[in-house]
Amino acid sequence: MFEAPGLIRSKPDSKIDSIQILRAIAAVIVTVYHSKDVFGKEDPLKEEVDFFFNSGPAGVPLFFVISGFIMVYITRKMPGTIREIYQFMVKRFIRIWPTYAIMSIWYYLIHLGFHINPVFIKVVIKSLLFIPLSHTDAPFYGGAMLSVGWSLNYEIYFYLLIAISLLFARYRWTAFFALIAITLVGIPMYTGYFTWKPDQSADYGSGYLNMITNPIIWNFVLGVVIGLIYINPRANAFLSGIFSKRGVTSAVVLLVIWQYLSGFYGGFGPFQWGFGAAMLFFAVIFHEAGAKTRFPAWLIRTGDMSFSIYLIHLPVLVFIPIVFNRLGFPVFGSGTAMLFLAVSVTLILSQLSYYFLELKLSSFLKSCFPMMKPDQSAKPAARNA
C-alpha cells in the first residue's frame, strides 16, 4: 500500500482493474453524499455539490452488483468441498468483520466515550452480528451502530447464500437461483406483497425475514448473472468484442451518468439505480476485457481501500468537530472547506485502515484459523476478492 506510486501499474491476468475503479467511484459518491451535510444554505459550491452527489446512495447498488460478480469469479474453480466452503466463509467474514467492528466501536466511543449505555451496547452487539435493528423502515431496518452497516447485513447474508449453494458443487448456481426464487419471489407472492421496490417491501414482523425477502437483493443477482456471462468463454469473447469499441461503452456510461444526475428512477431497486449500476458494470468490465484498458495506479489504489473509505467517512465527520473543540479551536470555515477537510482526512485514514486492518490484521486472523491456506490477501492478484 505504501509502495512508491507510479502512473500505470502492470496487472496480473486474474485481477480486473475496472472493478477497483468502480469501487472507488461508489465509495467516493457515498462519502461526499453523507459529508455534504456540513453545508449551510449560503455556502459556496453547495448547489454544485448537491447536483453531482444528491444521488450518492446509488453507490450501494453498484457495490452489490460488484459483489455478485466477484462471488462468481472467485468461486468459478472451487470444487465445493466442505473444506473449500469453510475457507470461503472464513475469508469472507475476516474480509469484513474486523475492520467493521473496529470502526463501529470507534464510532460508539466518539458518541458516548466510555460510558456504559445498555441500549447502545445492545445496538452495537446486534450490529456486529449483522442482525437488523428493527423490522420497519425498509430496506435499512434500523441501520446499525455505524449507520452504513445496514448494507453489510445484506452482504453477509449474500455470502451465506453462496456458501449454501456451493454445497451443491456443479449445480451450485441452480441451487442459488432456487433459493432466490423462494425468498424473493415465492414468499412475497404467497403473502401477496411482491414488489421490485425495496422501500415498499412487506413487513412480516421480523427484521431478518424482511431483509432476506427485500428486493434490494436482486442487485446481487444482477451481478451473479453478469459473472456467469463473463466466465463463459464464448459469451465473453462476443461481448468483449462489442464493448471494446469505445463508442458503445461510452454510450452506456453516458446514459448511466444521465440517470444518476437526473435522479430518473432513483432508488435501490433492480429497475432503479440497480439497473444503471448493472449496465455500467457490464459495459466497463467487458470493455476492459476487449480493449485491455490500463488505469492510473492511484485510481486503482482508491478502489483497493474503498471498503475502508465506506466505513471511515462517518466517524470522521463526527470526530473532526470534537477534536477542534477539545483543542480549543473553533470549527471554522464554510461547509466547502469542512467538506474538503473531511474527505481528505477520510482518504488518509482509509490508507492506514486498508494497510493495517484489511491486509495485516486480516492476514494474521486468517493464520489463527485451522485448515486455512497460506494467506495471499496482500498480493495484487487477490485484490478483487
Comparing CA positions, the residue from 247, 298, 320, 306 lying closest to residue 38 is 320
Q: What is the CA radius of gyration of the chain?
A: 21
CA 79 to chain CA centroid, Å, is 26
Q: Is the dihedral of CA 14, 16, 17, 19 positive or negative?
A: negative
Nearest to 74 by CA among 364, 307, 383: 383
- Residue 228 inside a domain? The answer is yes
Residue 266 in grid coordinates? 432513483
Measured from the Cβ of residue 250, the count of other Cβ atoms closer than 10 Å reads 12
- For residue 331, the model assigns a pLDDT of 67
Q: Is residue 1 part of a domain?
A: no
Q: How far apart are CA 157 and CA 294, in angstroms?
A: 34
- Predicted pLDDT at 116: 78
For residue 330, the enclosing domain spans 17-382
Exposure b/e, 102-126, CB count within 10 A at least 16 = b: ebbeebbeeeeeeeeeeeeeebbeb
User: Given this model, what pLDDT does residue 9 score?
Assistant: 41
**Is residue 254 one of the residues assigned to a domain?**
yes
Long-range CB contacts (within 8 A, 24+) of 374-380 = 377/91, 377/95, 380/9, 380/11, 380/12, 380/15
123 neighbors 331 (Cβ within 8 angstroms): no
- Indicate whether 253 belongs to any domain: yes
Per-residue confidence (pLDDT) for residue 373, from 0 to 100: 61
* Grid cell locating 90: 472464513
Instruction: Tell me if 5 is assigned to some domain.
Output: no
pTM for the complete prediction?
0.92
Phi, psi of 32 (to 5 degrees): -70, -35
User: The C-alpha cell of 354 is what?
Assistant: 486498508
pLDDT, position 334:
65
3-state secondary structure of 5: coil
Residue with cell 491476468: 13
Q: Rounded to whole angstroms, how far apart are CA atoms 163 and 156? A: 11
Residue 270 lies in a domain: yes
State residue 42's pLDDT score: 83
DSSP 146: S
Cα–Cα distance between 207 and 227 in angstroms, integer? 30
Is 11 inside any structural domain?
A: no
Angstrom distance (rounded) from CA 50 to CA 112 = 31
The pLDDT tens digits of the residues spanning 233-280 come to: 999 999 999 999 999 999 999 999 999 999 999 999 999 999 999 999
User: Which residues are CB-contacts of 20 (< 8 A; sequence separation ≥ 6)?
Assistant: 295, 299, 300, 302, 303, 304, 306, 383, 384
Task: Determine, yes or no, domain membership for 6.
Answer: no
Q: Are 290 and 241 in contact (CB under 8 A)?
A: yes
The string of pLDDT tens digits covering residues 130-174 is 999 999 999 999 999 999 999 999 999 999 999 999 999 999 999
Residues of the chain with pLDDT under 70: 1-14, 331-334, 373-383
State how many domains the chain has: 1
